Amino acid sequence: MLSLLKSVRRWPLWLRGLIVLLAISATYLGQLPLAADVPGDPFLLFLLVVLAATVAFGQALGLSAAAVTAVLSTHFFEPGRTLHIHHAADLIKVELYLLLAAVSALATARLLRIFMEAYDRTARLAERASRSSVLLGELSHRVANNFAAVASLMRRHAAHVADPEAKSALAQAVTQVTVMARIHRRLHAGGDGAQVEADRFLAELCADLEEALTSNGRIVLRCRACKHALPPAQAVPLGLIVNELVTNASKYAFTDGRPGTISVELQREEEQLRLTVTDDGVGMASGNGRAGSGRMLVEALTQQLAGRLRTLSTQQGTRIAVEFPIPAPVARPRVAAVIG
Residue 305 near residue 298 (C-beta atoms within 8 A): no
Domain with CATH 3.30.565.10 in the chain: 161-325
Distance CA 147, CA 84 (A): 88
User: Are the C-beta atoms of residues 241 and 275 closer than 8 Å to each other?
Assistant: yes
The fold adopted by the segment(s) 161-325 is: Heat Shock Protein 90 (3.30.565)
CA distance 55 to 62: 8
pLDDT, tens digit, for every residue of 32-55? Answer: 877 655 555 788 899 999 999 999
pLDDT higher than threshold 90 for residue 190:
no
Please say whether the beta carbons of 272 and 241 come within 8 A: no
pLDDT of 330 over the 70 cut: no
Question: Residue 334's pLDDT is what?
Answer: 43
Dihedral of the alpha carbons of 193, 199, 203, 206, in degrees to the nearest 10:
80
Query: What is the Cα 152 distance to its own chain's centre?
Result: 35
Q: What is the pLDDT of residue 97?
A: 92
Q: Is 285 helix (H, G, I), strand (E, B) or coil?
A: helix
Give the pTM.
Answer: 0.54
The rounded percent of the chain whose pLDDT value lies above 90 is 31
- Mean model confidence pLDDT for the chain: 81
pLDDT in tens, 215-224: 556 788 999 9
- pLDDT higher than threshold 80 for residue 141: no
pLDDT digits (tens, 9 = 90+) for 270-306: 889 999 999 988 887 655 555 555 788 899 999 999 9
CB atoms < 10 A from the CB of 20, how many? 22
Average pLDDT of the residues in 15-37: 85
Bridging pattern class, strands 260-269 and 219-225 = parallel
User: What is the pLDDT at residue 288?
Assistant: 56
Angle between helix 232-252 and 164-185 (nearest 10): 150
Is residue 179 within 8 A of residue 202, CB to CB? The reply is: no
Mean pLDDT of 247-264: 84
In sequence order, which residues have a C-beta less than 8 Å from that of residue 227 and are 6 or more positions away?
197, 198, 199
User: If you average pLDDT over residues 294-322, what whole number do you get?
Assistant: 90
What pLDDT, on a 0 to 100 scale, did the predictor assign at position 291? 54
pLDDT in tens, 91-121: 899 999 999 999 999 999 999 999 888 888 8
Over 90: is that where the pLDDT of 323 sits? yes
